[in-house]
Structure 1
Amino acid sequence: MSRLQAPSDWWLDETPPYSDFDLNDAMERPERTLRPAAVLIAVMDRADGPTVLMTRRSDSLASHTGQIAFPGGRLDPGETAVEAALREAWEEVGLDPQLVEILGVGDGYETGTGFAVTPVVGWLKGEPVLKPSPAEVAEVFEAPWSFLMDPANHRREYYEPEGQPRRWFWAMPYREHYIWGVTAGILRRLCDRLYEGKVA
């Protein structure tokens, strides 16, 4: 994980180098002030190899219902990305911040909905006792690190909005879970950063 950015080098106004627009040249990228957010990529040691903690969002949420995500959300005023990621993980799934050893920060990612998301990578030092918030999380599961970091599992897929060009996105279907969009895009770029640009 030495290729990650040190949390002390992170700053709020950095323009994300990657985005939902990377695969969609025909989409107009709007001029706007991005809202800062952070997610926690929590890696756990398992007998069969490391896994990543992921969630399926509640069907009762106002947006992105049922989608696969990392614990995370907006930064509160004065928060760093690490502080926000740990707070959101505690609020969403009851992950004790004391269990998380922060390994570093990945590349920022601009979402189509106007967020600048910072991925924070952490190693869990013990077995978590999770208590998902039913208002936000329908399910918590683990996906193998080796699966998520294997470019053979990264698919370019698309949907066709009515009257608009195709919208391309990354997808990493894992068992019954369809990992796609921002979550898959962040994982794709994390793979690229950690494994020396071996993915396109």
Structure 2
Amino acid sequence: MIQIKNSKLNYIYNPHEIESLLANFIPYHYETQDLRNSAVLIPILPIHTSSSKSPSYQIIMTGRSPKLKHHTGEMSFPGGKFDPAQDNCLKDTALRETYEEIGVTPENIRIIGNLDDLPTLTGWTIRVFIGLLEIPPDFRFSINQEEVSALVKIPIEYIARNNLFYKIPFPKDHNFSMLCFDYNDPELEQNFKIWGASAHMLQEFLKKIYNIVVISPEYKRPTLKECLDAVRR
């Protein structure tokens, strides 16, 4: 297990407070013709209960359908590649893909910030949006079975805990490593392994919002230059 260092004793779960923190954060946006553009949304879902006056919050993730050509069965966030025929910008991509995958319309999503762009060795750069789902408590998600095999709701406090992440080797290049953690979903009664880019995005979310730092000298994701070199080989 990877130890985490937390300098904030009180976690910030309220997305409105998260939004104010993100307002002062300037993310890295990579502009390069050599990597294909894509975008994802980290959806934050408020959960209202009769026992509490204030809602708790969950992060929604999706299992990729085995019908897809790439990354089948992996856990990810709603998102996909930029489509110039449909999208004016990468935010449009994230919103469109979220609607196509889980049925939440752009009108019911309030974007509250960005994380740094994430380049990959497979030739993509991923823009990461954080969005609050403004939907009624009885909202029913519409799952696109062609793309999504499961919809998983992970409490924010679950990912902001010690000894959650562990390190695994990068599949094709052992010069790099990946973060990973497990979540046993009580609703679906199924265990999910979150790893790779998705786990890295959540680690970045923890670092930017809660000042939680994952400590692992061995953990190293490829830089933009290394991703570009891999593509140009």
Both structures adopt the same fold (TM-score exceeding 0.5): yes
* 1:3 and 2:28 matched: no
Structure 1 pair 32/75, CA: closer, same or farther in 2 (3 Å)? closer
Contact 1:56–1:137 under 8 Å retained in 2 = yes
Of the three residues 180, 184, 189, the one matched with 2:195 is 180
In 1, the alpha carbon distance for the partners of 2:171 and 2:75 equals: 21
Task: Give the C-alpha shift of residue 5 in structure 1.
Answer: 5.3
Give the length in aligned residue pairs. 181
Question: For 1:7-62, what per-residue CA distance to the aligned partner results, in whole angstroms no more than 9, with x for missing partners?
Answer: xx779xx329xxxxxxxxxxxxxx97111111111101124721011110001111
- The residue identity in structure 1 corresponding to 2:199 is A
Instruction: Identify the residue that residue 156 of structure 1 maps to in structure 2.
Output: 167
Instruction: Identify the residue that residue 116 of structure 2 maps to in structure 1.
Output: 107
TM-score w.r.t. the length of structure 1 is 0.79
Question: Considering only CA atoms, is the larger Rg found in Structure 1 or Structure 2?
Answer: 2
Q: Which runs of 4+ in 1 moved over 6 A?
A: none
Structure 1 pair 116/192, CA: closer, same or farther in 2 (3 Å)? same
Task: Give the C-alpha shift of residue 151 in structure 1.
Answer: 4.9
Instruction: Identify the residue that residue 89 of structure 1 maps to in structure 2.
Output: 98
TM-score w.r.t. the length of structure 2 is 0.69
1:46-125 equivalences under 5 Å are 46=47, 47=49, 49-77=56-84, 79-125=88-134
Taking every aligned residue pair, what percent have the same amino acid on both sides? 27
- The residue identity in structure 2 corresponding to 1:97 is P
* 1:198 and 2:213 matched: yes
In 2, the alpha carbon distance for the partners of 1:50 and 1:130 equals: 17
Ranges in structure 2 where 5+ consecutive residues have no aligned partner = 1-17, 50-54, 185-190, 216-233
Task: Give the C-alpha shift of residue 103 in structure 1.
Answer: 0.7
Question: For 1:103-147, what per-residue CA distance to the aligned partner results, in whole angstroms no more than 9, with x for missing partners?
Answer: 111111112211111111111112343111111111112111111
Contact 1:32–1:114 under 8 Å retained in 2 = no
Question: For 1:70-103, what per-residue CA distance to the aligned partner results, in whole angstroms no more than 9, with x for missing partners?
Answer: 0000112253222111100011111122111111
Contact 1:151–1:199 under 8 Å retained in 2 = no
- The residue identity in structure 2 corresponding to 1:156 is K
Contact 2:27–2:116 under 8 Å retained in 1 = no
